[in-house]
Amino acid sequence: MRFRVASKLKYSVLGKGTLIFSVHALRSPSQTITDEKLLVTPPATCDEFNIQPGHNRFVRVEAGAGPEINIEYHAIVEAGHFLVPMKKLLAVPVGKLDPEALSFLFPSRYCQSDKLGRLAYQKFGSIRHPFRKVVAISDWIFENIEYVRGSTDSQTSAYDTVTERAGVCRDFAHLGIALCRALSIPARYLTGYAYQLEPPDFHACFEAYIGGRWLLFDPTRLVPLNGIVRIASGRDAADAAVATLFGPIRSKSMSVSCEAIDEGFEPINRQQLDNHGICLDPV
Amino acid sequence: MRFRVASKLKYSVLGKGTLIFSVHALRSPSQTITDEKLLVTPPATCDEFNIQPGHNRFVRVEAGAGPEINIEYHAIVEAGHFLVPMKKLLAVPVGKLDPEALSFLFPSRYCQSDKLGRLAYQKFGSIRHPFRKVVAISDWIFENIEYVRGSTDSQTSAYDTVTERAGVCRDFAHLGIALCRALSIPARYLTGYAYQLEPPDFHACFEAYIGGRWLLFDPTRLVPLNGIVRIASGRDAADAAVATLFGPIRSKSMSVSCEAIDEGFEPINRQQLDNHGICLDPV
Amino acid sequence: MRFRVASKLKYSVLGKGTLIFSVHALRSPSQTITDEKLLVTPPATCDEFNIQPGHNRFVRVEAGAGPEINIEYHAIVEAGHFLVPMKKLLAVPVGKLDPEALSFLFPSRYCQSDKLGRLAYQKFGSIRHPFRKVVAISDWIFENIEYVRGSTDSQTSAYDTVTERAGVCRDFAHLGIALCRALSIPARYLTGYAYQLEPPDFHACFEAYIGGRWLLFDPTRLVPLNGIVRIASGRDAADAAVATLFGPIRSKSMSVSCEAIDEGFEPINRQQLDNHGICLDPV
Amino acid sequence: MRFRVASKLKYSVLGKGTLIFSVHALRSPSQTITDEKLLVTPPATCDEFNIQPGHNRFVRVEAGAGPEINIEYHAIVEAGHFLVPMKKLLAVPVGKLDPEALSFLFPSRYCQSDKLGRLAYQKFGSIRHPFRKVVAISDWIFENIEYVRGSTDSQTSAYDTVTERAGVCRDFAHLGIALCRALSIPARYLTGYAYQLEPPDFHACFEAYIGGRWLLFDPTRLVPLNGIVRIASGRDAADAAVATLFGPIRSKSMSVSCEAIDEGFEPINRQQLDNHGICLDPV
């Protein structure tokens, strides 16, 4: 399925500074990108880089030439989504986990899994199958956390959300990640463009590592899972912020869009999946 | 300088589980390792791995064969320490930082740099030279945080320590890292063996990225900087714990040692360095 | 029912200081005290006082005469416990609450009811009868929080316990209070001697204000409700600590006892009560 | 000096509920109130009460008659302010403190003095005179905490402010109180009308108990100390909130004013006082 994705971000520039963006769709075996364009006005020094090869694409922009800086990103992304039958989603004991998944077991800034152990075992410890366990986590978040715009800020973490019971997509994802890790299931944060998200915005959800694959979960249930275009993944929002600002730079406005180019999009929601997980990477 | 390092860890095993250790001295251009030996009794399935090539060495042990498991590690490490004159330690703006250093700017589980911005600017913002800035941070921690064994636990973070004003090496390092990152200086956590540490134990300190190098700082001032043998580095203790236990396994005891093999060790302390930084990696 | 209560507390005195104790059984319409004795050795300046007339009895001791100070308290307490049928425990809207109960609606140091609003409404908001509501709160704590000696310290608060899911009687009481207040039910902390508590110690539980009476709840279920002798009540443990130390004074040991003098004690547990609440004050 | 004080508060009423206000100027030996008027529109059931005789005046209003409720309060207050020479502000050891002051030593919801002990001793422990100690605390807050409107919310506490270094009058007062209590100086929260506050609003500051008197401190330095009219005092903002809302009621707007009626007001600021404290109560 092809999507046309775009984002426009405006900043006030009060002095010299640097902006690091993570708005590019990821290039991967399941995401082919064409017609990609990044426009920075007024023109500024830019470099695109990865921290790890093949991973999140960052662009760094030097600000300082004017009172404002505008970033505009456009691309067409052919994005694949793969169904995996539950019988392939077997438990992998920590002793057999791929090393690269192990670091997604550790607690991080917004996902204090080390503090959620008893709670996670109480609620989900008796569920044997790891896929059902994460489904139960995601359902529990949907049912117990209220989606309330503006109720949280950039310092809010899973430890807050589990008690305060309100948040936005970022908070839902952080809580899902923290609960998975507390149960020794690697989990990571994902940001992306999301088709049919209302109102349009960047979206965040999470992936859990089960049976050697990263399975996608969205506890907000706001969008079809096959309408998500991956921008970045990481331990939590600290790794995958849309924009990180250094210096006297202030956000002014932001707009985001994601449209289907091909016809015949058939939404897949977790609830419809009968014994299947969904994966953004080829199986 | 050559050091003989060793550690012995004993665990009660109440049921099947997995232990992940980070006790091996790192192999690196500045650390040559000989006579290395890892002994696990009773014998158990072990695998050694890296999460990233050339980085922290982990060993994973499957427990379950008996009521106890013992890990014993020995090695001889030829470890280099390099002095760098301050004039080479120039400020690198975020716009010019190596991408691999950038992720050490982000907040992490125990280093909530996002909450320490105003405090860090108030105290250290007027110091221009980045090396002097980190020296001032390290000195401030030494002067204001009391080293009190047992005052903190594995959940204690920089946000706690900055107010509660007591902790151990791990807490001192976390606070140093958080303050550096709050000032846009990449910083990372380091664990190691430490010569002349009393009582002998694993040690933790931190590195700040200045002028394209990782400079070593130890706000505890407990050991000579050239007596540190690196085990691992990471964003904070979540990445570089000596042992991470999965399953019903309890720590029973631990002993650590680090002796100089060659004669003529001349301790270098930060206070003695006149306008020089010290680096564990070749310059 | 008459109880013989006693407590012995020993402190190291490293220099001049003051100790404030709250170990005296409260004098009240339902508690008659005879044979009361307070022994301080070595002899020291003591004064007994109330902060509010008729309320918690404090004793203040000036330390400084020796390397140690010992406090020994003995009394015989005739303590009443009153059953109130549920039909008398009607909801009182905030608009009709006695002013003196109102301050027990406000959040306090260890009972951050202001952060637990959504959680409390989710779990207990649909229960109409205020007595059943508090019973459900107390049952939920018993079922979801593990009683683990040594798992918490004097800084632990309800906000921690609700997520970390472990604690001691003090933590159980704080969480019960916080959840009641979050639902606009006044609640207060109670310390006392407790018959049949194993191992013997001071005990803490909580009272909720329903239908114009303070009803007793003990989410630990460790003791019969009619075996509790009130020492003090307050907003939380900050108001009713057994001992508050000023100066270089360290606790060395403590022993507590509570025995029934009269025969025929018939334990009343919350679970046995069929549609009745229990009150420490005459109805 | 006579002041004309007024406040108008508007609320949306979405359903039945109760509002508790604390906007009345306190009646006390140093505050004489005339021409007092409280207007509630549409007319509603109101009762005025104290929780303790002679203390904070609350008014409770039953809402439910319309889509909005408006509260308007006017009064003329003759308010005294008393200078006390430093030589009368002697240290009172805890052993000699009036019992009623003792409860203002305990930690409270927004003033976690139990966590600030080391910090407080480090910074202020060497200052001998208790008045100078509190002056130093108040000056330190003024110098280190930035007054930033909107930077905090109703859950912000002294533990946050001491690290995050920004806040409003309420946060400044909470931090002052917490630091005093950590040093065994009783301290309480005060709300009031404040002459020359720009923009006009309710104000918060704190009182410390020294030499048997409650001395006034305002670490914001926003107003003359002799322009403050006391509304309420308490352990912290939990006791003395301007309005506490129960039920589906939302704040819409608020306006406050405080004008001098008599001519010849001569502002007294802490900085001008030469070795004198200022007290709201007769000496």
How many pairs of residues across C and D have Cβ atoms under 8 Å apart? 75
| pLDDT tens readout for residues C186-232 | 999 999 999 999 999 999 999 999 999 999 999 999 999 999 999 99
Is pLDDT of C272 > 80? no
Whether A164 sits inside 8 A of C122 (CB atoms) is no
The chain-wide mean pLDDT, for chain D, equals: 94
Is the Cβ–Cβ distance between B240 and B232 less than 8 Å?
A: yes
Which DSSP symbol is given to D243? E
Is pLDDT of C40 > 80? yes
For residue D120, the distance in angstroms to the closest alpha carbon of chain C comes to 15
Task: Return the partners of chain B (3 or more C-beta pairs < 8 Å).
Answer: A, D
Contact list, D94 vs chain C (CB under 8 Å): 18, 20, 60, 246
How many pairs of residues across B and D have Cβ atoms under 8 Å apart? 29
How many pairs of residues across A and C have Cβ atoms under 8 Å apart? 29
SS3 of A43, please? coil
Percent above pLDDT 90 for chain C: 85
Among candidates A52, A102, A109 on the partner chain, residue whose Cβ is nearest the Cβ of B109: A109
Among candidates B62, B115, B155 on the partner chain, residue whose Cβ is nearest the Cβ of A155: B115
Could you tell me how far CA C240 lies from the centroid of its own chain? 8
Low-confidence stretches of chain A (pLDDT beneath 70): 65
Contact list, A95 vs chain B (CB under 8 Å): 18, 45, 60, 62
Percent above pLDDT 70 for chain B: 99
| Bridge partners, residue C232, by sequence | C191
Contact list, C178 vs chain A (CB under 8 Å): none
With the C-alpha atoms ordered D104, D108, D111, D117, is the resulting torsion angle positive or negative?
positive
Bond before B224 cis per omega within 30 degrees: no
Find the range with the poorest average confidence among A51-55, B173-177, C79-83, C123-127.
Answer: A51-55
pLDDT confidence band for C64 (50 / 70 / 90): confident
pLDDT for B39 equals: 95
pTM: 0.95
Whether B239 sits inside 8 A of A103 (CB atoms) is yes
| pLDDT tens readout for residues A20-66 | 999 999 999 999 999 999 999 998 889 999 887 778 999 999 998 67
Amino acid at B272: Q
pLDDT confidence band for B92 (50 / 70 / 90): confident
Bond before B42 cis per omega within 30 degrees: yes
Find the range with the poorest average confidence among B204-208, B267-271, C100-104, D207-211.
Answer: B267-271
pLDDT confidence band for B64 (50 / 70 / 90): confident
pLDDT for B273 equals: 80
Is the Cβ–Cβ distance between B129 and B275 less than 8 Å?
A: no
pLDDT for A238 equals: 95
| pLDDT tens readout for residues D127-140 | 999 999 999 999 99
Find the range with the poorest average confidence among B177-186, C6-15, D59-68.
Answer: D59-68
The chain-wide mean pLDDT, for chain C, equals: 94
Is pLDDT of B254 > 90? yes
Is the Cβ–Cβ distance between A175 and A96 less than 8 Å?
A: no
Mean pLDDT of B25-53: 91
Mean pLDDT of D98-109: 93
Residue ranges of chain B whose CB lies within 8 Å of a chain A CB: 18, 20, 45, 49-52, 58, 60, 62, 93-95, 99-100, 102-103, 105-109, 112, 114-115, 154-155, 184, 238-239, 244, 246
Whether D115 sits inside 8 A of B164 (CB atoms) is yes
Could you tell me how far CA C96 lies from the centroid of its own chain? 26
Which DSSP symbol is given to C88? G
Percent above pLDDT 90 for chain D: 85
pLDDT for C134 equals: 97
Whether D163 sits inside 8 A of B119 (CB atoms) is yes
pLDDT for D55 equals: 86
Mean pLDDT of D28-33: 94
pLDDT for D141 equals: 98
Among candidates C122, C159, C165 on the partner chain, residue whose Cβ is nearest the Cβ of A118: C165
Contact list, C146 vs chain A (CB under 8 Å): 118
Contact list, C94 vs chain D (CB under 8 Å): 18, 20, 60, 246
Contact list, B102 vs chain A (CB under 8 Å): 20, 51, 58
Q: Tell me how far apart the alpha carbons of residues D180 and B114 are, in angstroms, rounded to a whole number.
A: 28
Contact list, D119 vs chain B (CB under 8 Å): 163-165
Whether A164 sits inside 8 A of C119 (CB atoms) is yes
| pLDDT tens readout for residues D153-210 | 999 999 999 999 999 999 999 999 999 999 999 999 999 999 999 999 999 999 999 9
Q: What residue ranges in chain A does DSSP mark as E strands?
A: 2-13, 17-21, 31-41, 46-50, 57-63, 68-79, 82-85, 146-147, 166-167, 187-194, 203-210, 213-217, 228-234, 243-246, 249-260, 276-279
Residue ranges of chain D whose CB lies within 8 Å of a chain B CB: 115-116, 118-119, 122, 144, 146, 159, 162-166
Whether C119 sits inside 8 A of A146 (CB atoms) is no
* A155 compared with B91, residue with greater pLDDT: A155
Contact list, C166 vs chain A (CB under 8 Å): 118
Which residue in A has a C-alpha nearest to residue C116's C-alpha? A164
Neighbours of B49 (CB within 10 A): 14
Please name which of D131, D251, A148 lies closest in space to residue C118, comparing C-alpha atoms: A148
Residue A52: half-sphere exposure toward Cβ, Cα within 13 Å:
10
Residue ranges of chain B whose CB lies within 8 Å of a chain D CB: 115-116, 118-119, 122, 144, 146, 159, 162-166
Which residue in C has a C-alpha nearest to residue D44's C-alpha? C95
Is pLDDT of B65 > 90? no
SS3 of D31, please? strand
SS3 of A75, please? strand
pLDDT for C273 equals: 80
Contact list, D111 vs chain B (CB under 8 Å): none
Is pLDDT of C53 > 80? no
Whether A122 sits inside 8 A of C165 (CB atoms) is yes
Mean pLDDT of D226-234: 96
Mean pLDDT of B99-122: 95
Site from D119, D152, D163 to mutate, B interface, most B CB atoms within 10 angstroms: D163
User: Most distant CA pair in chain A: distance in Å?
Assistant: 59
Q: Tell me how far apart the alpha carbons of residues D108 and C112 are, in angstroms, rounded to a whole number.
A: 10
* 3-state SS track over D166-185: EECHHHHHHHHHHHHHHCCC
Is pLDDT of B271 > 80? no
| pLDDT tens readout for residues C89-143 | 988 888 888 888 999 999 999 999 999 999 999 999 999 999 999 999 999 999 9
Contact list, A65 vs chain B (CB under 8 Å): none
Which DSSP symbol is given to D115? G
Site from A112, A140, A141, A164 to mutate, C interface, most C CB atoms within 10 angstroms: A164
pLDDT confidence band for C176 (50 / 70 / 90): very high
Q: Tell me how far apart the alpha carbons of residues D260 and D197 are, in angstroms, rounded to a whole number.
A: 12
Site from C19, C52, C109, C188 to mutate, D interface, most D CB atoms within 10 angstroms: C109
Please name which of C83, C129, C135 lies closest in space to residue C276, comparing C-alpha atoms: C83
For residue D121, the distance in angstroms to the closest alpha carbon of chain B comes to 11
In order, the DSSP letters of B18-52 are EEEE--SPPPBTTEEEEEEEEEEES---EEEEESS
Contact list, B154 vs chain A (CB under 8 Å): 114
Amino acid at A140: W
Among candidates B49, B100, B105 on the partner chain, residue whose Cβ is nearest the Cβ of A99: B49
Question: Between β-strands B146-147 and B166-167, what pairing exists: parallel, antiparallel or unpaired?
Answer: parallel
